[in-house]
Structure 1
Amino acid sequence: MSDTSATHWRNYDTPLLSPILDAALERFVTGGFHGTSIRQLAGAAGLSVPGLYHHFASKHAILAEIDRLAMEDLWQRSIAALADGAQTPLARFDRLVECLLLFHAHQSALAFIAFSEIRALQGQHRRAHIAARDRQQKLLDEVLEECVADGTFTTEHPRDASRAITTICTGVSQWYRPDGELDPAGVAKRYGEICAHAAGLPAE
């Protein structure tokens, strides 16, 4: 996301991936990383195999770049969401969860591959993904703990609640469909309420 200002963390109008990476993402979603050949990736991008190698050194390099862009985009949107508006713990929690849900709906294919193909990442790229994932989780851990500290949430297990909420949000990428009942904003509203109650927000 090139602009992380408060008005843009909800905006998904600008494509994140280049045409080559977008074509590769579609192939990985269809056939999986290991089930997709470099020739198939080149064909999907409208390139020869040597032409693809001109841009990326390997199939793994393509996956690693898709993963890096996904994790960095989510991080930048999350930071912008937290900074946007009222700074009460509940307001920050609501915006962060909304951000997570919007990302996993709008970018469902991207998020699905970043989650499911971590097993294919190697070396420094795998370590970078784990570090980015842990950094992202820490944001939610901290804001949820703030909500517990000021009495907004009643959960006795904030870290467990935080992990459960992350699972709810990331799981959206596995089932969300643009032609389904809810659009991304609808997903964020409905599941945001579920997440708040999972953390112990009393029912009205």
Structure 2
Amino acid sequence: MTNEPAMPESWRHYEDLGLSKPLAAALEAFVEQGYHGASIRDIAARAGLSVPGLYHHYPSKQALLVGLTTVVMGELLERSRAAEIEAGPDPSDRFDAVIESLLRFHMFRREQSFIASSELRSMEPEGRASYIAQRDEQQKQVDRIILDGVRAGEFDAEYPVDASRAVVTMCVAVAQWYRPDGELSPEELVERYLGIARCTVGAKRVGK
């Protein structure tokens, strides 16, 4: 297996993810045809490899899907952790930073994010369990921040965990509809949806 791409210095900065040729080809095929519609032969051709050459890197189509989702979730979690650390101890600042990170990720990694979530149904038990554990880790980070905010009197959410789930679901859904040439610029989308997220948790401070 190839090493995962290196993280950029800033969690706000996005470049090409630098996927290996097999994973980039698999992503392209899965986006166009879905996991079940994509063939190993087609993925190998897109990667400029023979089928045996592709199998040298990834022994199955399932391994390609798991490899792709592992890279995607690893990057998502690392960016979220970096955003929270940079924000400092205040729950409101941490909330704003992590939600902004989630929104940006699902804009700039929308194809990867969409495949990771939509093809969960195609994963075999071991890969599915690993993906769900990573997804739960992301959700628990937001849960923890909101609960900290409620305890500190900065958020007024009656049902903090439900509010957290609603906010994360909203961020994840951005990957389904966002387009770079759409109505909202990334900055406008972050501003608008961060406002919605603050309202959902009953934030008492609107931005810095």
Q: TM-score range by the shorter chain?
A: over 0.9
- Report the count of equivalent residues: 202
Gaps of 5+ in 1: none
Aligned to 2:56: 54
Aligned to 2:97: 95
Task: Kindly indicate whether the alpha-carbon contact (under 8 Å) linking 2:70 and 2:131 is maintained by their aligned counterparts in 1.
Answer: yes
Which is further off, 103-112 or 145-154? 145-154
TM-score (norm 2): 0.91
RMSD: 1.6
Which is further off, 75-84 or 187-196? 187-196
Q: Please give the alpha-carbon distance, in whole angstroms, between the structure 1 residues aligned to 2:160 and 2:166.
A: 10
Alignment partner of 1:118 out of 112, 120, 140: 120
Task: Kindly indicate whether the alpha-carbon contact (under 8 Å) linking 2:154 and 2:205 is maintained by their aligned counterparts in 1.
Answer: no
Task: Kindly indicate whether the alpha-carbon contact (under 8 Å) linking 1:105 and 1:187 is maintained by their aligned counterparts in 2.
Answer: no
Aligned to 1:84: 86
Residue 160 of structure 1: CA displacement? 0.4
Residue 54 of structure 1: CA displacement? 1.8
SS in 2 for 1:114: helix
Residue 41 of structure 1: CA displacement? 0.9
Map Cα deviations across residues 95-120 of structure 1 (whole Å, 9 max, x no partner): 00001001000000000001010111
Map Cα deviations across residues 15-40 of structure 1 (whole Å, 9 max, x no partner): 24223211210110111101111111
Map Cα deviations across residues 81-106 of structure 1 (whole Å, 9 max, x no partner): 00003321000000000010010000
Task: Kindly indicate whether the alpha-carbon contact (under 8 Å) linking 2:100 and 2:190 is maintained by their aligned counterparts in 1.
Answer: yes
Residue 203 of structure 1: CA displacement? 8.3
Residue 3 of structure 1: CA displacement? 3.6
Which is further off, 17-26 or 182-191? 182-191
Q: Please give the alpha-carbon distance, in whole angstroms, between the structure 1 residues aligned to 2:18 and 2:116.
A: 14
Q: Please give the alpha-carbon distance, in whole angstroms, between the structure 2 residues aligned to 1:46 and 1:148.
A: 53
Which is further off, 118-127 or 177-186? 177-186
Alignment partner of 2:133 out of 123, 131, 134: 131
Gaps of 5+ in 2: none
Alignment partner of 2:67 out of 62, 65, 68: 65
Alignment partner of 1:11 out of 10, 13, 27: 13
**What code does the residue aligned with 1:17 have?**
L
Aligned to 2:6: 2
